[in-house]
Amino acid sequence: MKTTNKNLISLDEFKVKNYGKPGTKERDELEAGYEDFKIGALIHDTRLELGMTQEQLAEKVGTTKSYISKIENNIKEARISTLQKIVKLGFGGQLELSIKM
Amino acid sequence: MKTTNKNLISLDEFKVKNYGKPGTKERDELEAGYEDFKIGALIHDTRLELGMTQEQLAEKVGTTKSYISKIENNIKEARISTLQKIVKLGFGGQLELSIKM
DNA sequence: TTATCAGTTTCACTTTAGGATAACATTTGT
DNA sequence: ACAAATGTTATCCTAAAGTGAAACTGATAA
């Protein structure tokens, strides 16, 4: 029962990837101090490591590549249930979550 | 830098607590095979360990006790950003998330 | 150049979280 | 029993997430 915990991330220690042009509403919001998430990068990196395209991932998960793109770029904040579907159906993994005190 | 990872949970291995009477819409949905989450229990247990009431937690987080109750009972699926607020502002901890392959 | 593939963004629509408030229920203490 | 504290549920609202379709951009290749 060998399990590897990939990519443990603290949802606090990073800045979101650039999105859009400076001056746009979305970009401004992202930079305005809303909570930023590394989740997009986590999905993105895992997908690439598994050699999948957004479209292939979307098909496995039962969604569209446009939605995957939005998640990877932190444009939309996916639900945990959606993240779980991506990880489980798309990657064959298991999403875990914990509180570090 | 001693850190403890409390309550690492896999979002897959449990059934939600009972909610409402059988036959209600919410109850039916919960039992109908939607993804169920242990997150409510995680928040609930952590709150109790810290000796807080829902109202005290709500105040720290900037929300209401009714909302905390809904989260703890998995009636509403909190966003990750909201979970993070609860963990950080309410518990003084840090929310972490990972993919187990 | 022209396809093709991968990814991004826009547009539009539906659903839900999040919140306010208040009523109701349950537990706990005296 | 009663009261107080704590937790649950109901109702209603609004802003935002969730989502798909399709247009668009960028890169790569033939």
Amino acid B22 CA to nucleotide D2 C1' distance, rounded Å: 33
Cα–Cα distance for residue pair A46/A44, rounded to 1 Å? 6
Query: Between these two residues, A38 and A22, which has the higher pLDDT value?
Result: A38
Cα–Cα distance for residue pair A10/A53, rounded to 1 Å? 26
In this prediction, residue A36 has a pLDDT band, given cuts at 50, 70 and 90, of: very low
Residue type, A8: L
ipTM for the whole predicted complex goes beyond 0.90: no
Cα–Cα distance for residue pair B24/B20, rounded to 1 Å? 7
pLDDT at B59: 92
Residues of A in contact with B5 (CB under 8 A): 98-100
pLDDT at B94: 82
A73 touches strand C (CB under 7 A): yes
pLDDT by position in tens, chain B (length 101)? 334 555 555 554 333 333 333 444 444 444 433 334 478 888 898 999 999 999 999 999 999 999 999 998 888 888 888 888 898 899 998 887 878 77
All residues at 6 or more sequence positions from A45 whose CB lies less than 8 Å from its CB, including other chains: A7
pLDDT at A7: 54
Nearest protein residue to nucleotide D7, judged by CA and C1' positions = B69
Residues of B in contact with A32 (CB under 8 A): none
Please tell me the least confidently modeled range out of A3-12, A18-27, B32-41, B72-81: A18-27
B6 touches strand C (CB under 7 A): no
CA atoms within 13 A on the CB side of A38: 17
Q: Please choose, from the candidates A44, A82, A38, the residue with its C-alpha nearest in 3D space to the C-alpha of residue B95.
A: A38
Q: Where are the domains of chain B?
A: 14-90
Instruction: List, for residues A38-90, the tens digit of each pLDDT value.
Output: 788 888 989 999 999 999 999 999 899 999 999 988 888 888 888 888 988 99
In this prediction, residue A93 has a pLDDT band, given cuts at 50, 70 and 90, of: confident
A94 touches strand C (CB under 7 A): no
The DSSP secondary-structure symbol of B35 reads P
Residue A11 confidence (pLDDT) above 70: no
* Cβ contact A71:A78 at 8 Å: yes
Q: Homologous superfamily of B14-90 in CATH?
A: lambda repressor-like DNA-binding domains (1.10.260.40)
pLDDT at B24: 41
pLDDT at A54: 95
Q: Name the nt closest to B85 by C-alpha to C1'.
A: C18
Scanning residues 61 through 100 of protein chain B, those with a beta carbon under 7 Å from any atom of strand D turn out to be 65-66, 69-70, 72-73, 75, 79
